[in-house]
Amino acid sequence: MLKLLIATLLAAPMLSAQVVTANNCVHQVGDNPDWARPDFDDREWSKQIPASGDSPYVWTRCRVDLSSLPPTVPVHIGVRNLAPWELFVDGKLAGSFGDIRTGLGSTSSAQQAVPAGAVTGKTITLALRQLPIRLNRAFPTGLAAGAEDSLQVRNSARVSAMLRATWSRNIVGAFSLIIGVLLLLLYAFSGDRNRRELLWFGLYCLAIYSITLREIALTLSSFPYAISVFWYALSVAIFSLVSPRIFFALSGRPLPVFYSGLATANAGVILLAACVRVLTPIHGMQEVKPWLNLVVDIGPFLDLALQTSAAAAFWPLWRVPGPLRLARNLSLLVLLGSASFNVTQLPALGLSSWAILGASIQPILILAATIGLFIVIARRHRDVALDRAELQGEMKAAQEVQRLLTSSTSTLDAAPWASVEVAYSPANEVGGDFYYCRHTAEGQLVVVGDVSGKGLRAAMLASVALGALRHSSVSSPGPLLEGLNAALHGQTGGGFVTCCAALMRRDGRLVVANAGHPSPYVGGQEFPVEAGLPLGILPVSAYQESTGQGESITLVSDGVVEAENAQRELFGFDRTREISTKSAQEIADAAKAWGQNDDITVVTVRRLAP
| Res 429: pLDDT | 67
Instruction: Give the tens place of pLDDT for each residue, 34-55.
Output: 999 999 999 899 888 776 667 8
Phi, psi of 464 (to 5 degrees): -60, -45
| Res 521: pLDDT | 94
| Res 410: pLDDT | 47
Mean of pLDDT values over 135-146: 77
CA torsion sign for 581, 582, 585, 590 is negative
Report how far residue 381's alpha carbon sits from residue 373's, in angstroms, rounded to the nearest whole number: 12
**pLDDT-based confidence at residue 351 (cuts at 50, 70, 90):** low
pLDDT at residue 305 tops 90: no
Which among 434, 512, 445, 511 is positioned nearest to 473, based on CA atoms? 445
Q: Over pLDDT 90: what percentage of the chain?
A: 24
> Is the peptide bond between 316 and the residue preceding it cis, with omega within 30 degrees of 0?
yes
pLDDT at residue 311 tops 70: yes
Mean of pLDDT values over 103-110: 80
Mean pLDDT estimate for the chain: 82
pLDDT at residue 298 tops 80: no
Contact present, 51 and 290 (Cβ < 8 Å): no
The better pLDDT of the pair 273, 119 is held by 273
Mean of pLDDT values over 213-231: 84
Report how far residue 398's alpha carbon sits from residue 473's, in angstroms, rounded to the nearest whole number: 27
| Res 12: pLDDT | 47
Query: In b/e form, how buried is each residue of 431-450, taking b as 16+ CB within 10 angstroms?
Result: bbbbbbbbbeeebbbbbbbb
The shares of helix, strand and coil residues in the chain, as percent rounded to the nearest 5, are 50, 20, 30
User: Model's pTM, two decimal places?
Assistant: 0.64
pLDDT at residue 547 tops 90: yes
pLDDT at residue 357 tops 60: no
Q: Helix 322-342 and helix 355-407: axis angle, to 10°?
A: 150
Report how far residue 461's alpha carbon sits from residue 487's, in angstroms, rounded to the nearest whole number: 11
Q: Which of 9-13, 169-173, 256-260 has the lowest mean pLDDT?
A: 9-13
Instruction: Give the tens place of pLDDT for each residue, 251-260.
Output: 888 889 999 9
No. of helices (H) and no. of strands (E), the chain? 15, 21
Q: Where are the alpha helices (H) located in 221-256, listed in sequence order?
A: 225-251
Residue type, 38: P
**pLDDT-based confidence at residue 553 (cuts at 50, 70, 90):** very high
User: How many Cα atoms occupy the beta-carbon half-sphere of 584 within 13 Å?
Assistant: 23
Best mean pLDDT range from 284-293, 349-358, 418-427? 418-427
**pLDDT-based confidence at residue 81 (cuts at 50, 70, 90):** confident
